[in-house]
A and B are shown apart, each in its own frame.
Chain A
Amino acid sequence: MITYSRLKVAHIRHLKAGYVLLTLLYDNQMTPPQPGQFFMLKPRNTIIARPISVHNFFSVLKKNYIEFLFKVVGRGTEELSDMKKGDMLPVWGPIGNSFPIPEDKRTAVLIAGGRGIAPLFFLATRLFEKKYEIHFFYGVKNSDELIHLLRIKNLSTKLYISTEDGKKGKKGFVTNLFQDAVGNYSSQVKENLLFDYEGKKSPVCYVCGPDIMIEKVCDISLTGRIKTYISLESHLACGTGVCLGCTVETRGGRLLHICKEGPVFDAEEFYCK
């Protein structure tokens, strides 16, 4: 259920490359968020709030905290980045659907590009708790954008890093990395890693990042007939389903709303192989 509250800033960290990690003390009257869901965060001086996906949700000493990771890209995020410990921030959520997690313990392949890491990190923590095997692909432009590397490494069975500047991991795009890995997996079909068309061990992919990256990843994963979920974004005014501003167009030409039908979608709605 979406509810409104004013949450206290417990901690704010300015990371490299304009990323900000905002930790708020959660209001336990609110519904706990699931990976993939987002909140509207209202900066004081903007007209409308900003949709930001949940990056983490955890408890310390019987208190619940919610964490948002965002990059400063405009007026709204800039103002949010200026918040200080103890400030109160109006928020409402949790909004939208969440990443479906299959009942069987199949391998989860997470592919994040840039700030697409935000919701996938939260998903990884949940998959880890449920003892899923996690193959994490994480690509950024500049190596200083890599966030939480050590924690992600601890959550992942396998971690693949790509940077466009080549200073960490493999130089290039995460899509190339994913393509190569899928190629390797294909030759290891017998190990049931990725391509087992017969059995139940076909993995599930979760993708979040720039549109062009999502498209390329889906091209690869859907070719391999891998169930793929993508998280999309759009401009949004209300988060409550009434402004009707947040539409995305499916490959069949249907208009879906990020806040109602999304933000997580079955990739086949948008891309096809």
Chain B
Amino acid sequence: MKELTTSLSNLNLKNPVMTASGTFGFGFEFMNFYDTSLLGAIVCKGISRNPREGNRGHRLAEINGGLINSVGLENPGLTDFIDKIIPEAEKINTTYIVNILGSDIEEYLYIAERLSGLKRADAIEVNISCPNVKSGGISFGKDLNLTRELARKLREIFPRPLIFKVSADIPYLEIARICRDEGIDALTCINTVQSLLIDVDKKAFRFNNIYGGLSGPAIKPVALRVVYQVQKEVGIPVIGCGGIMNYRDALEFFMAGASAVQIGTANFANPLSAYEILRDLSEYCEKNNIPDIRELRIW
């Protein structure tokens, strides 16, 4: 396979194909299907300070062109992650990025500080779509001052690359500027799109939590818009994410300005997706004599 190294500020990857948080477990679950060490990076399931059970009731619904989830950030918590999962993840020979979440700034900082001492946490991806308890449940990303404070403090604590993951539902351009100014290495664009589903027969909301997050091909054009705008207006390196089902979808993101991509929902459609996208992308670059994926940008 052709070498496709890429770098996003201080984050250096052996190739630009990563997995999206929440769609690939902790990376070793897919070892039956292929050697996940081949991927550019693995972004693990989001980790909170304490274990989270997740939402009750329905958690998934497939719609035309997409998947809506209301999983509710179920995860084993930081202690189990460090004690039980990290040793398993040592077997994976590629960049390992830990996605973190918090209900207040202190929770993010606590997790980042503990991860800073762990070699296996090559980088952190920060989910800022979580509701902030102290500002009445509004997501972090909607509060620019809070986001700035979070970025600044995380930068002080964590010595390795930091990525912020944004959704299209928050003022992402302002956040991109804040992240750039505070020394955040890259932005993942985008998280799922907030959605709502109604069960007509039951005359009820489909999810106990009312809202869910939409992923899959339906959000790809939205994701491309955000990637392009962030890259053009702000210039911070971008990891494109949203509805990439094959290598041609990935090419669209590189052409829009992304330096790497994350594969999410496609991992459900076919557990080999991320590997196949990497393989096909590599073949495309070889055939078209493209030495650096970033040269694909069309503007």
Instruction: Decide: A238 near B268, CB < 8 A? Known: A48-B67, A244-B74, A245-B71.
Output: yes
Interchain CB contact under 8 A, B271 and A238: yes
Interface residues of A in 35-49 (CB under 8 A from B): 42, 46-49
Give the residue of B32, B268, B272 whose beta carbon is less than 8 angstroms from that of A237: B268
Report the separation of the CA atoms of residues A236 and B67 in the bound assembly, to the nearest whole angstrom.
11
Report the separation of the CA atoms of residues A76 and B63 in the bound assembly, to the nearest whole angstrom.
11
Question: What residue in chain B is nearest A92 (Cβ atoms)?
Answer: B271
Interface residues of A in 213-263 (CB under 8 A from B): 235-238, 240-247, 249, 255
A3 sits at the interface (CB 8 A): yes
B62 sits at the interface (CB 8 A): yes
* A contacts with B, residue count (CB < 8 A): 27
Report the separation of the CA atoms of residues A76 and B62 in the bound assembly, to the nearest whole angstrom.
10
Instruction: Decide: A1 near B32, CB < 8 A? Known: A48-B62, A247-B54.
Output: yes
Give the residue of B29, B61, B216, B269 whose beta carbon is less than 8 angstroms from that of A241: B29
Q: How many A-B residue pairs have CB under 8 A?
A: 87
Give the residue of A2, A47, A236, A255 whose beta carbon is less than 8 angstroms from that of B269: A47
Interchain CB contact under 8 A, A46 and B45: no
Neighbouring A residues of B23 by C-beta, 8 Å: 238, 242-243
B65 sits at the interface (CB 8 A): yes
Give the residue of A1, A4, A47, A75 whose beta carbon is less than 8 angstroms from that of B67: A47
Interface residues of A in 4-57 (CB under 8 A from B): 4, 42, 46-49
Neighbouring B residues of A4 by C-beta, 8 Å: 32-33, 270-272
Neighbouring B residues of A243 by C-beta, 8 Å: 22-23, 60, 69, 71, 268
Min distance, Cβ B23 to any Cβ of chain A, angstroms: 6
Binding site for B on A (CB under 8 A): 1-4, 42, 46-49, 75-76, 90, 92, 235-238, 240-247, 249, 255
Besides A47-B65, A235-B59, 19 new A-B residue pairs in contact (Cβ under 8 A), listed by A number: A2-B32, A42-B269, A42-B270, A46-B62, A48-B67, A48-B269, A75-B62, A90-B270, A235-B60, A235-B61, A237-B60, A238-B23, A240-B29, A242-B22, A242-B23, A242-B30, A243-B23, A244-B59, A247-B59
What are 21 A-B interface contacts by the 8 Å CB criterion?
A: A3-B32, A42-B269, A42-B270, A46-B62, A46-B269, A47-B62, A47-B65, A47-B216, A48-B265, A90-B270, A235-B61, A236-B60, A237-B268, A240-B25, A240-B29, A243-B268, A244-B54, A246-B60, A247-B54, A255-B53, A255-B54
